[in-house]
Structure 1
């Protein structure tokens, strides 16, 4: 059957498989029959409560209003878990006689106590008649909706169809109770949570087995996901209601398996600890929250203590925890003070089994005699510690003190980078030594594969010739201080110039930002001063907002490079950095209120609440801060000028790989030291040696993919102008063009940031000009389909396409931007170096999308190729003046050529240009007078030539005068 299996065949096969799993098939034609069916099951399930008197019409109306009324379908999810105002799995109504009644709608604890059914092709009437493919009913409630497409059909069609159904016919129907959606084309299957707001296709998840193996094919997915006991566990335990955002979430499979591993460890191995190895960025927080919630419900657990390092317990963590657990009006509020007395009071409460605190405060509680006496009742009771970031704060004396006090404690740790023998610290213990055994793992290779995080594009740039250093060592008879070489001002300045020159390319012209990490505070201050000097020396050049943050004592002690007087120097250095920061952003921070300064930097790096893009930080210089625990999708690039290895390297690299949008294809790592051996070792250690999964594809691979995408485009259309003919053929032909060119767009968005990329390499297949023309045709095609969808009553193909217009958003790369890059060239370097920099700038010109810049491309490229290399070894070169002079010379040459061609004086042509610039048109009569004596035909021909020339040269030089 394979690829020829129809949608109907796929649907029937799927329903048969559900029946084999224990689902009962029922025939339900429309919403009225669905309501009647739900009412019948509700009466049957509650016959004892109803005392033999089924619900009247008015009473059922009250039930309906309670579960699908103005409070939205989210309320049913919340009630399924149990709310403050009603028992678990029940709703409350008032009967006609005034009595209050609880009705059981869902048994949360016992999966077998519920009824599981499947139906298909329910017809719902709205703007259009919609027929839903397959619906799973639990106790008569439509809690899962499945949309199927035949094999080979674009997967997004099923997702977009669900969006349309929700908008058109879910409202005011029992389908508002749907908790989860499943979409499949037979070969590829996803699940995701329902919601009142816009659904996001990024939150469609694959289902896997415990070992993270994809179960994509609909048959294997169904066998694992749909057994009633598994489906019940997902709905009863792993659908999460985010109270603060009024949205529903569903956990990913690896999160579910991790929680189940923890529960199993507590239940069956109470004398053993355990740890979860889930890579940075995979959502460990929500997993640990859910584990805490389920553990506190167990009768064999006396207290659950969620233990966090003080540095991680920020305001957002507190809000997320309360929100995920359904806290309202202060319930479960996290105590964020440093008052140990408050913690002890929380521990003494018997009505709340869950406590969230820091390891520092817990250490205080078990170290002081006064508090020990108060905590004596818990010394031998069953206490579960959930410890976030297990690799960081759980290896010292504080952990030992806590262990010595709680004799019957069980510790569950979470880490993205475990400690192995290879990266063991001074403590001498590995993560396994501390936590006994791994309960589940989800490695960075898995997260990249699942597109939960991005891969990395890692570059290694040589900043000095190591051979020269070694030769100098042998000649002098002394070893050269390589630390002195690495921190030499000349080297730092060259790196700063490289960052200024390339930063806009790495960060999509400032849409994203970057961190520069350095070995110590002295180097941080040196870099800051160099950036400041370079930008002050070249005020017309490329402007970057540079900031820095560090603690002036702790970092220096860690690096063993500064003591005594240097502490004062670093403090003073930070003071002048903060002063500049205040001036740049209009703030009033000081070193004394360091926490507020730190938080403001964090906000700007995340680009939260910024009024304008200029309020962003382009490059943040750090020593250790922001290299762990800082999550921001807007951080795309890490400049590295320090030693990194093992878990420290992975943690630092992982700051850049949070998914944002299509303009961020991977995290950029720019190493100014040779960290390739350390990178390869870290990949081996933390990603099971999967180098291919960890790193972005090579340029050669990307280039081949680009050629294949172009070839597929040409199978459909050869030239941009040919797209116009598709409109006469129908929407399907336009759709094929959109899909083909969309693939070209996707790959171009990735390959464009590689240093090796140049359009000339692909010009035989697709020129830069053709690409830009196709972009215009692509946008026109999208607009046409959207317009047709609105104007026509029939369902348009527009619903089945992902247009991804973000891929053709134009970069803000104009003439001023390019001139800024040229000004940043170090003209005291060699001619070869200048040519290399010029080639990079030419690549940016080629890649720019603006028509305004395209018209100037030839002139800019000519200036870079013919003029710029001549400025080598010239100090204080005024590039703007040189360029303006070059422009005038080029313009003069064009005037002279045209003057000779039409036999009209240059001065007359310049007069026409002035008229065109002033009035928007040429002086036609004056041109006629200049051409007197010619035949009418010749006069008209030359007049047309002159008018075209004036318009072209006027538009061409408009932004350059």
Structure 2
């Protein structure tokens, strides 16, 4: 596929046609009325086809569409109309629901794609591609060429610009797609502040067979085949409450894929006559991938397709129960039927309708299935085929007596497990195997999304790991004993837990001696003040203590070292605490906050995400699973944790946040060995070390930094970075002008910068900083001279600014900037003598940025600049042809400037559009043609600054061009006349954006 933007656009349209969309040129589409952004006749015809009601009611529904405002509220209401239809009232006060989309037969809808359609607003814009469903615009696509200001970031910036200039269109648009022909992303549209949109890749064509193709082709196949697209629009796009505001969410590809697999399994196995129905499945997705949302998407659709179904969301602890409850209740249109608060309510649910179970969505903890409290329900089990159980954190409690009771209560149910860390091991004589519990024979998992997948997709960041020998390390065999005992405690009675806890109390006591707690607290306070709080990034920390008493001990110590409001404990409190330390603290907490201890802990957790304080949460068990806070950066680990529990805990730090290149774990226990073993188990294999690329230990950081430095230097061959001569600079620019080299260099250098920006990293990476300095200079040259038109690209420029900040603050290096210079005749004369490659690139780069930022478009001139730039990159030298192109571009720039000074910017842009259309004509022909055309209908209003150019005006403009052409060139050659008129019309559209 060509990288040319026009051919890329053509290819996208052809691809969409293959996927079921109908292409119409802008001229073929009906004209949009003033300030209306849908194709009215197409809409009316579609609504008549779908709804058997009088036209007057359909008109009423359309009026409600027209009344929507360009705002979050208007966009939200339109999404609700799409999903549920529009209610209108007839003359008899009867309510009718007007459907906007035919859901049962998707192909009864109209699916139209068009390109370069003029949209009127504060200024006229022509988005690259628009997609209409039943005449309503729902998708906007912006395409960029990698070699022509081609970053996806620029496409994003352009979409956000459209959101302001043609905001009315965005009342209805639901999805935006940005791409450069090879890579692509999509995000839901909701009038968000620039930079706040959730951009994501789509890396599966499911359920289509996966074919070899670009990332963007996979996105098109996966999102825009008609079946998937209608599902995404109606079932996977939602408004969700977040704090005191609403946000729009769009399913990620792995969430869509997993949900569809669950739904397919349910619908394909409901027949009771099947001999071996598959009624289970394991969703093995890493933390942060949105497993709770998969459950929500599943429940939402089951309520529509199986209204009599009983959907149980089964969680394993009360804190997770609350999280799941929030995730469901906050999504508009997903009404939770009930939060099952006790065993009696659970019994009522099962016994409903003669044991067929109550329809709806219910959240229940697995603990409510304890045998001693549930004997009466076991014998009254339900055989209802419509019971669907979605089990969260299924690796933890689906093996013992409670799990057995649960299965006995619903012997004919569909049961799907959700986990990031399934278990397959023997512990204390008990076999714990998540795969056996949730997978049909021969199936390892229904769907999987790994830690590595999450990092590659940008949904999580790597975790930097550092062992801190503040206290003596415990011998491995003692820690392993603690592991076995602690793991076995899950699912046992309180008396059994007490017996086991006595055996491991010696281990825990080591981590809560006053001396050790004091040592760790001082180290935590010092590190937090110097490396976390001083960054002013809003990032926070968590201290994991060995038990609840240790939590209180740390809080007491930290209150003397940091402001008391900096840290808070989040843990459980009993009514009759046997520990004086805990009971005294509970009483103090309740007096200080004026709240019940449980409520206070809940509010501390919420405030951690939305307020300044607390900055450090002190925990022992709570929040180590299920807690999702992008602000959590550093985990101070002062408790032995192993395997799944260790992986779950450190995973709390891997959620992305601004200026957060890594999560950060400081380990006071020395768990690196078991961490590496665990990562091998889950992410590695015989030839793939689990830790590499997922968790980076401090012991490995320096080695990796040096290795990456060497690899990056190797990209440049034998280039001498110490030579600061102009000739050597020119040589460097030639090397970096190879797109393959520059791409590798940019990726490597940004990784190096991220590693250097780790807390405490500079202390042991300073020895290597001279080599980094040289690369930083090269990066500055690359950004300022070789990123054609993309110097304002957010990610590149943001990375560059961070590089300069790191270097200037720590290593006193001035990174080379573009600086001010004038590209005049002397500059070009010097270029003609020296054939300076870098100077030529700089000139073209500067011109491209300047022309791109003009009020009017200069498409012909931009094409010439890009053509010269690409030829220069390929030639690696300023040859005669390229030199002449550069001089010719300069002549055009001067001509435009002169024209602007005498005629103004509008007339100058108009004249340039005509000039490039007519080709090599002299002023005796050009001037009469421009003068004759300027006073004709359509053109005159265009030059007077009228923004709205209707279909009728476009017809006038085409007719005026033809009359002017005949007037100046005469009639006769009809084919040439038709071609010339078409070229002039296109260039005027590109210039004035109509």
**TM-score interval (norm. to shorter):** 0.5 to 0.7
Gaps of 5+ in 1: 87-91, 471-480, 536-540, 555-563, 723-732, 782-795, 814-842, 850-961
CA distance in structure 2 between the aligned counterparts of 1:695 and 1:23, rounded to whole angstroms: 44
Residue 168 of structure 2 is matched in structure 1 by 172
Residue 289 of structure 2 is matched in structure 1 by 282
Q: How does 1:780-819 map to 2 (within 5 A)?
A: 800-802=793-795
Provide the secondary structure at the position in 1 that maps to 2:425. Answer: coil
Q: How does 1:127-206 map to 2 (within 5 A)?
A: 127-152=122-147, 153-169=150-166, 171-173=167-169, 176-198=171-193, 200-206=196-202
CA distance in structure 2 between the aligned counterparts of 1:47 and 1:210, rounded to whole angstroms: 33
Matching of residue 454 in structure 1 with residue 452 in structure 2: no
Cα RMSD after superposing both structures? 5.3
Residue 308 of structure 1 is matched in structure 2 by 315
Q: Are the aligned partners of 1:383 and 1:409 in contact in 2 as well (CA < 8 Å)?
A: yes
- Report the Cα offset of residue 75 of structure 1: 2.5
- Report the Cα offset of residue 162 of structure 1: 0.5
Q: Are the aligned partners of 1:318 and 1:334 in contact in 2 as well (CA < 8 Å)?
A: no
Q: Are the aligned partners of 1:292 and 1:354 in contact in 2 as well (CA < 8 Å)?
A: no
Q: Are the aligned partners of 1:295 and 1:301 in contact in 2 as well (CA < 8 Å)?
A: no
Q: Structure 1 residues 250, 66: closer, same or farther in 2, change over 3 A? A: same
- Report the Cα offset of residue 126 of structure 1: 3.0
Residue 383 of structure 1 is matched in structure 2 by 387
Q: Structure 1 residues 179, 167: closer, same or farther in 2, change over 3 A? A: same
Matching of residue 752 in structure 1 with residue 757 in structure 2: yes
Which of 582, 592, 597 is the aligned partner of 2:600? 597
TM (norm. structure 1) is 0.65
Q: Structure 1 residues 332, 427: closer, same or farther in 2, change over 3 A? A: same
Residue 365 of structure 2 is matched in structure 1 by 359
Provide the secondary structure at the position in 2 that maps to 1:11. Answer: helix
- Report the Cα offset of residue 659 of structure 1: 1.7
Provide the secondary structure at the position in 2 that maps to 1:324. Answer: coil
Provide the secondary structure at the position in 1 that maps to 2:534. Answer: coil
Provide the secondary structure at the position in 2 that maps to 1:698. Answer: helix
- Report the Cα offset of residue 512 of structure 1: 2.7
Q: Deviations 1:116-151 (Å, cap 9, x if unpaired)?
A: 222111012334331111122222222221111013
Provide the secondary structure at the position in 1 that maps to 2:139. Answer: strand
Residue 894 of structure 1 is matched in structure 2 by none
Residue 223 of structure 2 is matched in structure 1 by 225
TM (norm. structure 2) is 0.63
CA distance in structure 2 between the aligned counterparts of 1:125 and 1:640, rounded to whole angstroms: 57
Matching of residue 653 in structure 1 with residue 643 in structure 2: no
Provide the secondary structure at the position in 2 that maps to 1:682. Answer: helix
Matching of residue 258 in structure 1 with residue 274 in structure 2: no
Provide the secondary structure at the position in 2 that maps to 1:267. Answer: helix
- Report the Cα offset of residue 681 of structure 1: 1.5
CA distance in structure 2 between the aligned counterparts of 1:123 and 1:710, rounded to whole angstroms: 49
Q: Structure 1 residues 616, 308: closer, same or farther in 2, change over 3 A? A: same
Q: Are the aligned partners of 1:194 and 1:248 in contact in 2 as well (CA < 8 Å)?
A: yes
Report the count of equivalent residues: 739
Provide the secondary structure at the position in 2 that maps to 1:106. Answer: coil
Residue 321 of structure 1 is matched in structure 2 by 328
Residue 115 of structure 1 is matched in structure 2 by 110
Residue 352 of structure 2 is matched in structure 1 by 348
CA distance in structure 2 between the aligned counterparts of 1:811 and 1:587, rounded to whole angstroms: 45
Which of 331, 336, 339 is the aligned partner of 1:335? 339
- Report the Cα offset of residue 335 of structure 1: 3.2
Residue 79 of structure 1 is matched in structure 2 by 81
Q: Are the aligned partners of 2:3 and 2:181 in contact in 1 as well (CA < 8 Å)?
A: no
Q: Deviations 1:556-611 (Å, cap 9, x if unpaired)?
A: xxxxxxxx9xx74x3335524763x679xx5346xxx33123224323433x344x
Q: Structure 1 residues 288, 315: closer, same or farther in 2, change over 3 A? A: same
Q: Structure 1 residues 764, 247: closer, same or farther in 2, change over 3 A? A: closer
Which of 543, 553, 577 is the aligned partner of 1:516? 543
CA distance in structure 1 between the aligned counterparts of 2:58 and 2:513, rounded to whole angstroms: 85
Q: Structure 1 residues 574, 681: closer, same or farther in 2, change over 3 A? A: farther
Q: Are the aligned partners of 1:547 and 1:577 in contact in 2 as well (CA < 8 Å)?
A: no
Residue 62 of structure 1 is matched in structure 2 by 63
Residue 632 of structure 2 is matched in structure 1 by 635
Q: Are the aligned partners of 2:753 and 2:803 in contact in 1 as well (CA < 8 Å)?
A: no
CA distance in structure 1 between the aligned counterparts of 2:261 and 2:191, rounded to whole angstroms: 32
Q: How does 1:375-774 map to 2 (within 5 A)?
A: 378-421=382-425, 427-437=430-440, 438-463=445-470, 489-509=514-534, 511-521=538-548, 523-528=550-555, 531=558, 535=561, 545-551=566-572, 568=578, 570-573=579-582, 575-576=584-585, 579=588, 587-588=593-594, 593-606=596-609, 608-610=610-612, 615-618=613-616, 620-662=617-659, 664-689=660-685, 690-696=690-696, 698-702=701-705, 748=753, 750-753=755-758, 755-757=760-762, 761=767, 764=770
Q: Structure 1 residues 654, 214: closer, same or farther in 2, change over 3 A? A: farther
CA distance in structure 1 between the aligned counterparts of 2:468 and 2:99, rounded to whole angstroms: 66
- Report the Cα offset of residue 333 of structure 1: 5.3
Provide the secondary structure at the position in 2 that maps to 1:627. Answer: coil
CA distance in structure 2 between the aligned counterparts of 1:666 and 1:6, rounded to whole angstroms: 37
- Report the Cα offset of residue 321 of structure 1: 0.8
CA distance in structure 1 between the aligned counterparts of 2:808 and 2:639, rounded to whole angstroms: 29
Q: Deviations 1:601-646 (Å, cap 9, x if unpaired)?
A: 323433x344xxxx4243x443322222222222211222332211
Q: Are the aligned partners of 1:255 and 1:287 in contact in 2 as well (CA < 8 Å)?
A: yes
Q: Structure 1 residues 347, 298: closer, same or farther in 2, change over 3 A? A: farther
Q: Are the aligned partners of 2:635 and 2:665 in contact in 1 as well (CA < 8 Å)?
A: yes
Provide the secondary structure at the position in 2 that maps to 1:509. Answer: helix
CA distance in structure 2 between the aligned counterparts of 1:6 and 1:454, rounded to whole angstroms: 34
CA distance in structure 1 between the aligned counterparts of 2:140 and 2:476, rounded to whole angstroms: 68
Residue 38 of structure 1 is matched in structure 2 by 39
Q: Structure 1 residues 101, 201: closer, same or farther in 2, change over 3 A? A: closer
Q: Structure 1 residues 398, 847: closer, same or farther in 2, change over 3 A? A: farther
CA distance in structure 2 between the aligned counterparts of 1:402 and 1:79, rounded to whole angstroms: 40
Q: Are the aligned partners of 1:518 and 1:641 in contact in 2 as well (CA < 8 Å)?
A: yes
- Report the Cα offset of residue 26 of structure 1: 0.8
Q: Structure 1 residues 128, 711: closer, same or farther in 2, change over 3 A? A: farther
Q: Are the aligned partners of 1:300 and 1:382 in contact in 2 as well (CA < 8 Å)?
A: no
